[in-house]
A and B are shown apart, each in its own frame.
Chain A
Amino acid sequence: MNNTEKYTQAFMDAFSIDAETAKTLKFQQIPAWDSVGHMGLVAQLEEQFGIMMEPDDIVDLNSYDKGREMLASKYGVDFSA
């Protein structure tokens, strides 16, 4: 599984959704992505990539695209493969 697949899988596992839904998802777009679900997503991402996100980044994580950009720029996750 490459990093993009792992990243998408984190959303799928956190919110019990399919990959297509995950890839366009924004915060609170579905009932599962509420404030509690948000921490579940953070848990999935931290476990998948072995990181510990800063509180500011947890707040800024408001969409699939934003999270991907953040993980690449701040946590050194390589999505090029």
Chain B
Amino acid sequence: MLKGKNILLTGADGGMGRAMTAAFAKAGANLWVNIVRDNADYCEYAQGLARENGVWIKPMVFDLTDGEAIKAAVMSIRSEKLPIDGLVNNAGILREGMLQAMPIADARLLFEVNFFAPFQLMQYITRLMMRQPNGGAVVNMSSMAAFDGVAGETVYGATKAALAAMSKSLAKELGRFKIRVNCIAPGVTETPLISQMSEEVLNRDRANTYLGRLGRPEDIANMAAFLLSDAASYITGQTIRVDGGRN
């Protein structure tokens, strides 16, 4: 599905990121994978996938709150003189709590990682995609919190709503350059992020889906792979919910 495509994936060593690394590699994509700090366990995992699937996977350590580091990473990719077919803004952080009790520094950090880092990466990467005859595809990770609202996730939801809104308008700006921009809004998914949630809440979330289960990282990764692929060549400006059907 992604054979020969070169893709930049952020937040590659988290729960969702690992599943995406696997899904994209198995689909034949070469990957630049962003991690925030050296992670030998993930790098070993990624290199195993690369060997098994005959692709290359290049870890890139850079901090998504550091604008200069983001720019340097893009410059490094550009110096390889390879097409960049896909960008997946997967990295994200969650800070829960009542709005009244949320330090504004936490709110700013949420926007820094969940909105401004994708903003900056899209600025740079889509500029490179514009020069390619076949454009490219961007996939951003939004959240059901952006659309349904989740108590305790007011700012997190706002960052994800902002990302979805930016994606919609950007899709309109870049359609003429054959660049597609889409979002995925996952439901509650079994990643380390949900370790902060009580079993009671998780049981309620399970019961609230038509399918009676939480999402698996592979569910989200498979949708991302599809949106990056040519099979989705007429899909842009959309936010696709991958949530098991929520009541």
Contact = CB atoms under 8 A, between A and B. Distances in A.
B74 A39 contact: no
A43 interface: yes
A43 B123 contact: no
A52 B128 CA distance: 10
Given A52-B71, A52-B75, A52-B78, A42 B127 contact: yes
Nearest to A44: B131
A36 B177 CA distance: 10
A55 B67 CA distance: 12
Interface in A18-62: 36, 39, 42-43, 46-47, 52, 55
Contacts of B131: 43, 47
Given A52-B71, A52-B74, A52-B78, A39 B176 contact: no
Given A52-B71, A52-B124, A55-B123, A39 B78 contact: no
A53 to B, nearest CB: 9
A42 to B, nearest CB: 7
Contacts of A43: 127, 130-131
Contacts of A42: 127
Interface SS of chain B: helix, strand, loop or mixed?
helix
A78 B71 CA distance: 23
Nearest to B176: A36
A43 B75 CA distance: 14
A5 to B, nearest CB: 21
Nearest to A47: B131
A39 B123 CA distance: 12
Contacts of A46: 127
Nearest to B78: A52
A78 to B, nearest CB: 20
Interface string B120-162: 0001100100110000000000000000000000000000000
A46 B71 CA distance: 14
Nearest to B131: A43
Contacts of B75: 52
B62 to A, nearest CB: 15
A55 to B, nearest CB: 6
A46 B123 CA distance: 14
Contacts of A39: 127, 130
Interface in B163-221: 176
Nearest to B79: A50
Most buried by A among B71, B74, B123, B127: B127
Interface of B: 71, 74-75, 78, 123-124, 127, 130-131, 176
10 contacts: A36-B176, A39-B127, A42-B127, A43-B130, A46-B127, A47-B131, A52-B71, A52-B74, A52-B78, A52-B124
The 4 closest A-B pairs by CB, nearest first: A43-B131, A52-B75, A39-B130, A52-B71
